[in-house]
Chains A and B, each alone.
Chain A
């Protein structure tokens, strides 16, 4: 009896699973791209002094624009570092300073969508941030570190430092969405002291390390 139904039934199930899985994946990546297009429009409007939600039922608002100077890609940063805003763009973590302000600002992003570009980040790479006031400020990668959340349940940050922290999952080429490692990219605002800093740091001390 069972021999009659099994093959067709199983094929049907497997096909359904395939469609659902691919659909889910497509939804995630489509959301990540489409939302950015919508939010980009809203961002322009916000800068013109006409803030509007990106879509009528949105529970998040744009707070900054981040641009990777290496390839010119830019993303709008959203408020709230919970799963829901992260689906649409990099998210500014509540409780930290706004990007561009004095103090530590933390932005999280998904490693396989908006923050995928961090995979190739190197010391000295530049990233620009446009704050709500429309002013662009330039940042430079000054440290790359990896934290293991199994060792440190909490992430302690000095809130007084003028820095920008970008956080994403690490490594970039695993499929496990709940991995324990995080890549923390520390950026400092670039001021005109580059000449001084270059002269006093010996080559050995500038740990120029890339992730790949």
Chain B
């Protein structure tokens, strides 16, 4: 309305020339300056755009560091000492954080641990001082840690991201100082196809979070600005062109939110570097109590010193780089393998028992049952390099091993999935040949969208006469494990799922759990030379389970895990941990084999006590509670139970962390604290190159429309001026 005031036109029209002249000169200056200012603004805008072009640049490796200081701000060297007695391993994992900068530092390190290990001890070592950690609820521990960090006290905290993935945070490391963090964990040893196996991961294959999961989280998170919605919808529409992706929406929501919350956290925390000096020193004291025929480490060169039944094992070079899982295998001499092993511990009023029983091998050559075999092969980007070659070799081997009566199909997935056949075909030589050439052409690249592929594999078999078996070949480099377990749990029906873990650093947690929910077994292949023997072992297991419906007659005061004992395959032991009040007498084990019933009596109370069994029991209980959550129990209930058991047994879990605080305030408040993330090594054989995405749009269109906008404004202005003039 202000335009209608008549003051403007009056000024414009009534212009005494004598008064105007000096003013006009000033106006001309403005006319000159105006465009120059505009030009300046435009140039600046273009400059800032150009800067953004340069920033992501070309294929350069960038190590992000929040403080922007030297790359190797913090240095970590690790030491692993393992004491193995029988089938229990006590590990001491030491991380040395040295600060090479002249700033106070907080170190953050994401590291893997064995997926069945219970972390029950941590201490900080600063010079001669030792500070022991306690287990607190996760949120409380975080609060304490943050407060201590702000106060300038030294503090350390271990948090669990996944059962096999942990974060270590150490605050207030003085310039030039070295802080040693000692973590202790306990684990039972696996027995696989005739040998005992200890697996210790040292690095993490980069994990993939499915696009759809991210989308859902973004949508769930109402605090997030809505700016992404349009783009996300576009993505969804693009993807919905592909079969079955829509079908999956709306399943497993309850878990996704939770898992991905954790995921986002670890996504920001893992950094990778290709050339990195963070060596690990490994020394093992092996006291298996058995006569051993050989001790081997398939991927590392080791030195073995023998003293009677004791073996001291160390790395031949002293240290190794942390780019692949460390594995130690030991084989007892034939006829020297006991059928049962029992370990116990007395703690407070309870007796804890760990028992391992190897069922007798009664396998008889009975009639071969034709099967429907579905192979799922992961061809995602993380499988690139050595991994995809191993996976293809394994799959080819499996195809060759099919019998004429079997039906089979292959599903290949990365961001999308595709199938060899629409429906399973008979494994005749023609179809096998087609399959082999199809497999030969597979290549790795793209995302790891397991869910749609798994869903396709789990669709009911075409005929119920066939025994359906799914063999899943992957590195498990995903972060939505819970969602997948829940799918396997609900959709499996009578099928069996077997996982084959590929690569230098597979996600063993995924392999083990997926196989557990799938009622099958897991196999690890870490080297091309192992493909033949490992796939043969797997094929032997693919025959019917050796022992089914196993039960143990505990008395009523006993709490034993696993809750439901899984069927055992060839050369697999029965492994149970139990807590009981009454250790007198014996228990009976019953089971069904293909030919006859198996029953065995075990006398419990004669065995010597050994520390750590209680922790193993608590760890197994937590594991079992997590499974209940997948089966549908309320998350809050499970959380309460896990917190209780974890606090009682001092274990790190999804809801509890270990935290240690030094009383002394070491950092003067006027000095700033920087923050450094310790990168992990890329797994060995990862033939991938890392590129920054190039900037692939010009500002041309933007400029054009900006020009249009400006001329439109110009016209509007002029027309208004014209109309104003007319009004007068």
Interface residues of A (CB under 8 A from B): 1, 3-5, 7-22, 24-25, 28-29, 32, 80-83, 86-87, 91, 93-96, 104, 106, 108-113, 115, 143, 145-149, 151, 153-163, 167-169, 171, 175-182, 186, 193, 196, 200-202, 204-207, 209, 211
Report yes or no: A15 in contact with B714, Cβ–Cβ below 8 A. yes
Task: Give the contacting residue for A156; candidates B38, B206, B209; CB below 8 A.
Answer: B206
Report yes or no: A160 in contact with B58, Cβ–Cβ below 8 A. no
Report yes or no: B34 in contact with A200, Cβ–Cβ below 8 A. no
Report yes or no: A209 in contact with B696, Cβ–Cβ below 8 A. no
Q: Is the C-beta of B438 less than 8 angstroms from some C-beta in chain A?
A: yes
Which residue of chain B has its CB nearest to the CB of A210? B241
Q: Is the C-beta of B52 less than 8 angstroms from some C-beta in chain A?
A: yes
Q: Is the C-beta of B693 less than 8 angstroms from some C-beta in chain A?
A: yes
B residues near A18, Cβ cutoff 8 Å: 707-708, 710-711, 714
Task: Give the contacting residue for A145; candidates B30, B446, B704; CB below 8 A.
Answer: B446
Decide yes or no: A29 and B700 within 8 Å by CB, A83-B50, A83-B54 being known contacts. yes
A residues near B441, Cβ cutoff 8 Å: 193
Report yes or no: B385 in contact with A160, Cβ–Cβ below 8 A. yes
B residues near A153, Cβ cutoff 8 Å: 64, 692
Q: In the complex the two chains form, what is the Cα distance from A82 to B696 in whole Å?
A: 10
Interface residues of B in 686-728 (CB under 8 A from A): 687-708, 710-711, 713-714, 717-718, 721
Of listed B37, B59, B234, B434, residue having the most chain A CB within 10 A: B59
Residue pairs across A and B with Cβ atoms less than 8 A apart, 9 shown, are A18-B711, A21-B704, A24-B700, A82-B58, A112-B701, A148-B235, A156-B688, A161-B384, A196-B437
Report yes or no: A209 in contact with B242, Cβ–Cβ below 8 A. yes
- Shortest beta-carbon distance from B584 to chain A in Å: 59
Q: Is the C-beta of B418 less than 8 angstroms from some C-beta in chain A?
A: yes
Task: Give the contacting residue for A178; candidates B23, B52, B422, B437; CB below 8 A.
Answer: B52
Of listed B7, B415, B693, residue having the most chain A CB within 10 A: B693
B residues near A13, Cβ cutoff 8 Å: 34-35, 37-38
Report yes or no: B710 in contact with A80, Cβ–Cβ below 8 A. no
Report yes or no: A155 in contact with B690, Cβ–Cβ below 8 A. yes
Decide yes or no: A110 and B689 within 8 Å by CB, A158-B445, A178-B49, A196-B437 being known contacts. no
- Shortest beta-carbon distance from A95 to chain B in Å: 4
- Shortest beta-carbon distance from B410 to chain A in Å: 10
Decide yes or no: A181 and B231 within 8 Å by CB, A20-B39, A25-B703, A167-B693 being known contacts. yes
Give the tally of cross-chain contacts (CB within 8 A). 253
Report yes or no: B242 in contact with A95, Cβ–Cβ below 8 A. no
Report yes or no: B419 in contact with A205, Cβ–Cβ below 8 A. yes
Interface residues of B in 232-274 (CB under 8 A from A): 234-235, 238, 241-243
Q: Is the C-beta of B401 less than 8 angstroms from some C-beta in chain A?
A: no
Interface readout for B31-68 with A: 1 if CB under 8 Å, 0 if not? 10011011100100010011011101111000010000
Report yes or no: A93 in contact with B39, Cβ–Cβ below 8 A. no
Q: In the complex the two chains form, what is the Cα distance from A207 to B214 in whole Å?
A: 23
Number of interface residues of B (CB under 8 A): 86
Q: In the complex the two chains form, what is the Cα distance from A5 to B441 in whole Å?
A: 73
B residues near A149, Cβ cutoff 8 Å: 56, 693
Report yes or no: A204 in contact with B422, Cβ–Cβ below 8 A. yes
Which residue of chain B has its CB nearest to the CB of A1? B23
Q: In the complex the two chains form, what is the Cα distance from A12 to B37 in whole Å?
A: 12
Decide yes or no: A177 and B702 within 8 Å by CB, A11-B717, A15-B714, A171-B234 being known contacts. yes
A residues near B690, Cβ cutoff 8 Å: 154-156
B residues near A21, Cβ cutoff 8 Å: 42, 703-704, 706-707, 710
Q: In the complex the two chains form, what is the Cα distance from A158 to B64 in whole Å?
A: 23
Report yes or no: A93 in contact with B49, Cβ–Cβ below 8 A. no
B residues near A151, Cβ cutoff 8 Å: 209, 211, 214
Which residue of chain A has its CB nearest to the CB of B243? A204
Q: In the complex the two chains form, what is the Cα distance from A146 to B231 in whole Å?
A: 11
Report yes or no: A22 in contact with B703, Cβ–Cβ below 8 A. yes
Decide yes or no: A20 and B42 within 8 Å by CB, A13-B35, A145-B446 being known contacts. yes
Q: In the complex the two chains form, what is the Cα distance from A11 to B719 in whole Å?
A: 11
Q: In the complex the two chains form, what is the Cα distance from A204 to B707 in whole Å?
A: 47
Q: Is the C-beta of B443 less than 8 angstroms from some C-beta in chain A?
A: yes
Q: In the complex the two chains form, what is the Cα distance from A160 to B689 in whole Å?
A: 10
- Shortest beta-carbon distance from B477 to chain A in Å: 11
Report yes or no: B234 in contact with A161, Cβ–Cβ below 8 A. no
